[in-house]
Amino acid sequence: MRVLFSVLDLCVKALVIVIVGLVAFQVFMRFVMNDPSAWSEEAALIAFVYLVFLGTALAASTGLNLTADMISAYLSPRGRIWAQWIVAAVTILFLGFVCFTGIRMSLAVRGATTTALNFPMSLLYAAVPMGAFLHAVGVIHWLRHPRQVRPEEQLG
């Protein structure tokens, strides 16, 4: 499973670089060349959709997904473990629903393509079930190999 999340980490980093490059190209074309590029905006949007869904899966695998510590601070260590397992179970059930719904959405738009790139919409929508599945795998990985999140890794 480490290989899967290492590859996922590389994909997320590559997508960030691609998005920055595409947006920089779009800004250059729009404001310097005065000739906006439709394809680069669309490509950046597609890359961003995949970045969001793959990034949440990566965050879940390291325990950096969104949590609320308000209640767990008042629980005993054993109670915190139970709470983690309950939250993980609810999360996985929800992700199963998202995966199922995402597959249905992806199948519903078969044959449709994006305007500028003619990218299949079904592949764009496939980011939803793929991300939900990988997120669930990430939650399971984190439950099997929990690690304490360092304060500098937390947001806010």
Question: Could you report the per-residue pLDDT of 50-80, keeping only the tens digit for each?
Answer: 999 999 999 998 888 766 677 877 888 898 8
**pLDDT of 155:** 56
State pLDDT tens for residues 83-116: 889 989 999 999 999 999 999 999 999 999 999 9
Residue 29 confidence (pLDDT) above 90: yes
Domains of the chain, residue spans? 2-153
Structure token digits, residue 11: 């994909």
Structure token digits, residue 44: 């950046």
Based on the number of CB atoms within 10 Å of its own CB, is 151 exposed (0-12), middle (13-18) or buried (19 or more)? exposed
Judge whether 53 and 133 are in contact, CB under 8 Å.
no
Residue 134 confidence (pLDDT) above 60: yes
